Amino acid sequence: MLKVNEILRVKGDVLYTITPDATVEQAIQIMSEQDIGSLVVLEHGELVGMLTFREIMRCLNHKKDIHSATVRSIMDDHPVSVTPNTEATEVQRLMLELHARYVPVMDGPTLLGVISFYDMARALLEMEQFENNMLKAYIKHWPDDKTEADE
């Protein structure tokens, strides 16, 4: 069964972070420049929240001033997280149940990365293609039902 650590290994280890005291405007700038949908919020090296476009849209909808509003004031300060050994099916369930597009991967207090809905879809598609290729190879080399004694 596919596990989170395998998805992270394929995805790579690039992680974009921001501090909770940064402004929402700074967060938008980073997310736009890097073409990403989330930022991990770290304080003193520890995960304290996640900031996604969802929180930014809510901020804009409430007409908060993005120049002065802080990341802390709009971030999700209790994001659901998974471990490297969590199975992909469990991550799917959590993402769908909680409407979470981004899930931090924690090994104890250590942040290893973030799994996105896109990462999950890509990993599952690649796994399906691999299994399909393996089945095709197996069928192509299917042993004959006849034995030499039957001939």
**pLDDT-based confidence at 146, cuts 50/70/90?**
low
pTM of the model: 0.79
For the residues 57-79, what does the mean pLDDT come to? 92
pLDDT of residue 151: 54
Per-residue confidence (pLDDT) for residue 113, from 0 to 100: 93
Sign of CA dihedral 134, 137, 141, 143: positive
Domain 4-141 has CATH 3.10.100.10: no
Confidence of residue 132 (pLDDT cuts 50, 70, 90): confident
pLDDT band per the 50, 70, 90 thresholds, residue 134 = confident
What are the pLDDT digits (tens) for 4-55?
998 988 887 789 999 999 999 999 999 999 999 999 999 999 999 999 999 9
- Which tens digit of pLDDT belongs to each residue from 80-125? 999 999 999 999 999 999 999 999 999 998 999 999 998 888 888 8
Report how far Cα 40 is from the mean position of its chain's Cα atoms: 11
Domain ranges in the chain? 4-141
